[in-house]
Amino acid sequence: MMLIFISGALAVLLGAFGAHALSPYLDEAGTQTFNTANRYHFYHTFLAALLGVWKPGDRLARYGQVLALAGIVLFSGSLYLLAFKTVPGVPSWLGPITPMGGLAFILAWSTGILKLIKN
């Protein structure tokens, strides 16, 4: 659960940072990309927490938590960085990582579906 709380705190921190400090550095598309990353970061932090509270100690729920957190790193993390694509030095190879994070999100939600079916 500690990683989930850290993820939530980081989502708030990055959201505030994006809203107040990044506007001079991001164009319109970069701002939208950053906001998308932050929104999905929050959604999936909540999913990971929900899975932990709903089925504490359950192996499949724990797997879902790991997938949600991995998705945050891959999907939101790559989008946070891609928001700065107009800044020299930001790697262009990050784009293909984003869908892998999306797949992790889908699999994380699917663990909840499986838990409902099994019960």
> Of 49, 58, 66, which Cα lies nearest the Cα of 105?
66
Whole-number Å distance between alpha carbons of 21 and 66: 31
**Contact yes or no for 83/33 (Cβ under 8 A):** yes
pLDDT of the chain, 119 residues: tens digit per residue: 899 999 999 999 999 999 999 988 899 999 999 999 999 999 999 999 999 999 889 999 999 999 999 999 999 999 999 999 888 888 878 889 999 999 999 999 999 999 999 87
* pLDDT score recorded for residue 93: 81
Q: Which two tokens stand for residue 64?
A: 């879902």
Question: Which sequence spans correspond to the domains of the chain?
Answer: 2-118
Cβ neighbours, 10 Å, residue 78: 22
